[in-house]
Structure 1
Amino acid sequence: MQNLAVALQNSERLFDENEIDSAIRRIAVDVRNDYAGPRPVYLSVMHGGMLFASRLSLAVGVDLEFDYLHATRYRGATTGSGLAWLHRPATPLEGRRVLIADDILDEGHTLKAVRDWCEDQGALDVRVAVLCVKNHDRRVPDIEADYIALEVPDRYVYGYGMDFHEQGRNLPGIYALR
């Protein structure tokens, strides 16, 4: 198992908790404006999106119907493989507006598969909110985030929900390996 303390020594903090909170409050205004009206289904992507989704839901200030999903390509690794569904939402999505909250949009394979699945379930509208988007040109076609709190460099990032070998998700900042 990789050592989190060693990783932290070889990393730089990109954003502290105050900067993250400020960025989340900023996008919450847009979400609030876009989701006035019928109560949307709010899907947190586990495990990485949990902290961001919780904080965003508090800042949005509109009533949301909570559910979650757990789909992963990583399973503790640093590179992805095929998508594995560990839990699908129990809330019917047909005819509903859906907001997916996740930790990061990197290449986009997982978020695209999740968004497409929601659309296949009959969701009226599916939007994506992410804590971070990674700056690179490897994104799969037809996936973008509608709400982006922060941009991060094309490096391995962790903290605030994102893991370093299943460690460090509860760090109150976002870190990047050097």
Structure 2
Amino acid sequence: MSADLEHIRQVMREADCLHTEAEVEAAIARVGAQITEVLADSNPVVFCVMNGGLIFAGKLLTHLQFPLESSYLHATRYRNQTSGGDLFWKAKPEVSFIDRDVLIIDDILDEGHTLSAIIDFCKHAGARAVHTAVLIDKDHDRKASADLKADFCGLSCVDRYVFGYGMDYKGYWRNAAGIYAVKGL
């Protein structure tokens, strides 16, 4: 185990900081203000996509200055790997959102397969409207569809394997205070 843990530590030592903690916190506050402007009167249900969305959602919720219900869902394609596979539901939403606006909060919009599947799930299950907020939008041309964009986005980043603020490297470093890119990935 110590060899694996040493590798995890080495990844952080060698990582490139793409966005500092201060930059990320400012982006979260800006996204919170934008969401408040759009959704303040809609009585939304806010879903955090676990595990990646946990830190972003927790910090973002404190900037949403209106009544809302919050819950979570857990769908993943990564399962502690560095590349995505099939969508796997660990926990579907438990709060009713029929005829209500839904806000999905996730860590990153990469290729968008997971987020797209969650949006479709909410629409087919009766949501009036589905809005999305992501901390990071990865800049590349491999999105699940050309028109898939987050309604609210904190920051963009280069097409590298990133971690921090909820995003992980092999299950680790979700707790990193900043957005980092793995050396060589």
Q: Structure 1 length normalisation: TM-score?
A: 0.97
2:169 alignment counterpart: 164
Alignment of 1:2-151 (within 5 A): 3-141=7-145, 142-151=147-156
One-letter amino acid of the structure 1 residue matched with residue 106 of structure 2: D
The question of 1:152 aligning with 2:157 is answered yes
C-alpha RMSD of matched pairs (Å):
1.0
Unaligned runs of 5+ in 1: none
Give the one of 151, 175, 179 matched to 1:174.
Answer: 179
Q: Distance in 2 between matches of 1:121 and 1:170?
A: 33
CA contact (8 A) 2:53 2:107 kept: yes
Q: Structure 2 length normalisation: TM-score?
A: 0.93
Q: Distance in 1 between matches of 2:13 and 2:177?
A: 16
CA contact (8 A) 1:127 1:146 kept: yes
CA distances 1:65-90 after superposition (whole Å, capped 9, x unpaired) = 01100000000001111100000111
One-letter amino acid of the structure 2 residue matched with residue 164 of structure 1: Y
CA contact (8 A) 2:135 2:155 kept: yes
One-letter amino acid of the structure 2 residue matched with residue 45 of structure 1: V
SS for the counterpart of 2:148 is: coil
One-letter amino acid of the structure 2 residue matched with residue 111 of structure 1: L
CA distances 1:24-54 after superposition (whole Å, capped 9, x unpaired) = 1111111001112131000000000000011
CA contact (8 A) 1:48 1:102 kept: yes
Unaligned runs of 5+ in 2: none
